[in-house]
Amino acid sequence: MKLLEVQNLKVSFRSRKEELNAIDDISFSINKGETVALIGESGSGKSVTSLSVLGLLPKNGRVVGGHIFYENKDLLRLGKKELGKIRGKQISMIFQDASISLNPSMKIGKQITQGLAYHRIIARKELKREALRLLAKVGFHKPKEVFNQYPGQLSGGMKQRVLITMAISCNPQLIIADEPTTALDVTTQKQILDLMNDYKQSTNTSILLITHDFGLVAEYADRVMVMFGGKIVEAADVFTLFKKPIHPYTKGLMNSIPKIEEPRNHLQTIKDAVIEETAYEGRIFAPETFSADEKVYHSPSTLIEVEPGHHVRFFNESSEVLIR
C-alpha cells in the first residue's frame, strides 16, 4: 500500500532574478513499512526533495509543479493548518547535523516534548513522564539527567539520538531521515541506524533514508533511488541495483563507496571517473545525467523500465538535442 506518492515534482530557486531548477520531474513512492533510500552526491537535490514534502523549502524556493500525495491528500495543496497537523504527527524529519538542529539554549526535555505539546497528544502534566520514557527508549541510561541538560552538554551521537526522539515522539507513519549520520563516526553511525531500524520494525513505520553512502543503503534500505542533478537516474530494489547497476552514474557512485577503515570524507564526486559505456541494450544514456560538465549536450531524457521495478534514465531519442 502506497503511503507517500510523489508525482512529477519540480522545484526551483530564485537567486538574483535567475530561476534555477533544483528538482526536475521527480516521481517515486514509499509503501507502508518500507525503507526507501535516496542517494546522490552533494547538491543533487536530496534535501530539497525532502523539504518539499513537508512544505519547508527556504523562502526563495518554490514548487513549480507536481503532486505529493499522502493518504490521498495532496500535501502541496493543503492549507497551513492541515499541513501543520501532518508535520511531526504523520511525517517527521531527522536532520543531518544534530549540533545545529537543536536549539542550544533550550533544555532537551522541553525540545523533545514540543511535538507532543503542539499536537496535544497527551496532557501537559504527562509530558515529562513521556519524555523520560522516550529518552530511555532511544538508549539513554540516565533519562532524568538528559532531560535537564542543554544540547551543548551532549556528544554528537547523543544529540542525534535526541533528534530521533523528537522525530518519533508523535508516532509518525513516515520518517524522513536526511543524512542522519553523516556527522558521526562509524560506530555511532551504526548504533543510530540500528536504533532507527529497530523502531521501524517494531512500529511498521516507513523511512525515507537520504544518504550519499551506498554502504548504508545496502544494509538498511529496501529500495533505492539514485539522484543526479535534480533527476532520478536509476531506481530499483536493493538486490537488483547491487547485482545489476545499469546507469553509468550509479556504477560510478558504487565504486566510490568509502571503506569502513578509511576516514570518512564527504563523498567525492565521480566526474573524474571514466565513463566507458554510453549505451545499454541499444539505448543511449543522456550525457547530462552523469556529467556535471557545463558543456555537455542537454538532451531530454526519460525513465524507462528495463525490467519490472527497475527504472533507468535514457536519452529520449524522439526529441532534439539542446546545446547549452
Ligand X SMILES: Nc1ncnc2c1ncn2[C@@H]1O[C@H](COP(=O)(O)OP(=O)(O)OP(=O)(O)O)[C@@H](O)[C@H]1O
Would you tell me which residues interact with other proteins (CB under 8 A)? Answer: 51, 54, 56, 58, 84-89, 92-93, 95, 97, 100-107, 114-115, 118-119, 149-153, 163, 166, 169-170
Residue that the C-alpha cell 504527562 belongs to:
126
Q: Are 119 and 170 in contact (CB under 8 A)?
A: yes
Q: Are 288 and 298 in contact (CB under 8 A)?
A: yes
Site string for Mg ion, 247-276 (x = CB under 5 A): ------------------------------
| Shortest spacing between CB 59 and ligand X, in angstroms | 8
Q: How far apart are CA 178 and CA 97, in angstroms?
A: 9
d(CA 185, CA 196): 17
Nearer to other proteins, 169 or 289 (CB): 169
Residue 45 contact among other proteins, ligand X, Mg ion, none, beta carbon within 5 to 8 Å by kind? ligand X
Minimum distance from residue 294 beta carbon to Mg ion (Å) = 22
Q: Rounded distance, CA 96 to CA 180, Å?
A: 5
Counting contacts by CB under 5 A, is residue 47 touching Mg ion?
yes
263: which strand partners? none
Asked if residue 268 binds ligand X (CB under 6 A), the reply is no
Nearer to other proteins, 157 or 287 (CB): 157
Grid coordinates 530521533 are at which residue?
164
Closer CB to ligand X, residue 12 or residue 111?
12
What does the per-residue mask of binding to ligand X show for 22-51, with x meaning CB under 6 A? x-----------------x-xxxxxxx---
The CB-of-63 to ligand X minimum distance in angstroms stands at 13
Q: From Mg ion, other proteins, ligand X, none, which one binds at residue 223 (CB under 5 to 8 Å depending on kind)?
A: none
CB of 216 to Mg ion, least distance (A): 15
Asked if residue 60 binds ligand X (CB under 6 A), the reply is yes
